Amino acid sequence: MLGLGGHEFLPDGRSRGFNEDYLRATTAGVVWPGFGGEKRRGVVAAAHAAGINFFDATIDAEKEALGRNLAEAPPPREVFVQTRPEGMVYTNNPDDPLNRRMLDPVLLRDEVRRIHGLLRRPRVDFLNFGFMGPAVEHDPDYLAKIARNVRLLKDEGLIRFACADTFSGEWLYERQIGTGAFDGIFINFNLADDAPARRILPLAADRGLSVHCRETFIKGDLFRMGEEAGVTDRAALARAALRWVLANPEVTAVVVGADDAAQLECAVAAALQPELTGEDRDLLDRVRATRAFGECQAGKRKAFGPYTA
């Protein structure tokens, strides 16, 4: 029920790479220096000790670090790695704003094989297809072409599962799920970003898809909301927020970020006792009452609504 995200962090809590030079960090072939060092090895060791068997990695620096760290300290059990093709997903590539590179089976196959090398693994367990609304509106056959490429990658043994992903709203998640090409979804879901609970999570679960959730701590904004509410115990707030996500029966796994082993162990403690306590509810109610929470929730609900060109 708990997965370890690949992000490593700057002293101010922001993720490394993305917040240092976004375009460079998200360019295929750029392995940012310093990833996978001693502190990160401690986080991976804590994951092994806790029984975590699900790992997510985003940029190439995270992929390379995860592959190296798993080779240095082989996991004591089978693990599953989720990742995405670099420079093809979301809108992080100005040269490919309509996610067309993912439609080319040769380019996509070559990218997956390149990822194998970074991860030091013979296949990708979960490959995320994170395309955006404009891609589908521009090409009526986009979803069918993606489904074709998923089949090709599976038939060739290059990936095990395909994961639907987007930031364009629930309408696109619905259409991704409707293709029948995907085995899971990766989605923002947290106390402020709760819209998926109404339709998307039940739909995915009904179709037999695994549901992987991210941004439990709202990219760190949760703790700033906590400060506004006078909450001084950040670890208790983190546990409450994680338990809130885990309380949703459709959720398969929550991917959490951890700067050090102690942070991951805090998340593990919450997952081992996932029932919301009275203290948890009180903390979350105090956060909900803040101005920062209201503004954040309003923005996220607007963003998750129907896409309009």
Q: CB count, 10 Å around CB of 44? A: 24
Mean pLDDT for the stretch of residues 127-150: 97
Residue 42 lies in a domain: yes
Domain of residue 109 covers 2-304
pLDDT tens readout for residues 79-100: 999 999 999 998 867 788 899 9
Residue 252 lies in a domain: yes
Angle between helices 278-288 and 234-246 (to 10 degrees): 100
193 vs 169: CA distance, rounded Å: 12
pLDDT tens readout for residues 151-191: 999 999 999 999 999 999 999 999 999 999 999 999 999 99
CATH number reported for the structural domain that contains residue 270 in this entry: 3.20.20.100
Q: Tokens at residue 118, please?
A: 């970074």
Which single residue is written with the structure tokens 């929470």? 293
What pairs with residue 256 in β-bridges?
Answer: 4
231 vs 217: CA distance, rounded Å: 14
Q: CB count, 10 Å around CB of 18? A: 16
125 vs 116: CA distance, rounded Å: 10
Helix (H) or strand (E) holding 186: strand 184-188
Residue 309 lies in a domain: no
Res 233: pLDDT: 96
SS3 label, residue 95: coil
Least confident of 5-14, 34-43, 299-308: 299-308
Q: How many CA atoms lie within 13 A of 254 on its CB side?
A: 29
- On average, the pLDDT of the chain sits at 94
Q: Which residues, at least 6 apart from 49, have a Cβ–Cβ distance to it below 8 Å?
A: none
Res 306: pLDDT: 47
Residue 34 lies in a domain: yes
The answer, yes or no, to whether residue 77 has pLDDT greater than 50, is yes
pLDDT tens readout for residues 190-228: 999 999 999 999 999 999 999 999 999 999 999 999 999
How many domains is the chain built from?
Answer: 1
The shares of helix, strand and coil residues in the chain, as percent rounded to the nearest 5, are: 50, 15, 40
Mean pLDDT for the stretch of residues 58-70: 97
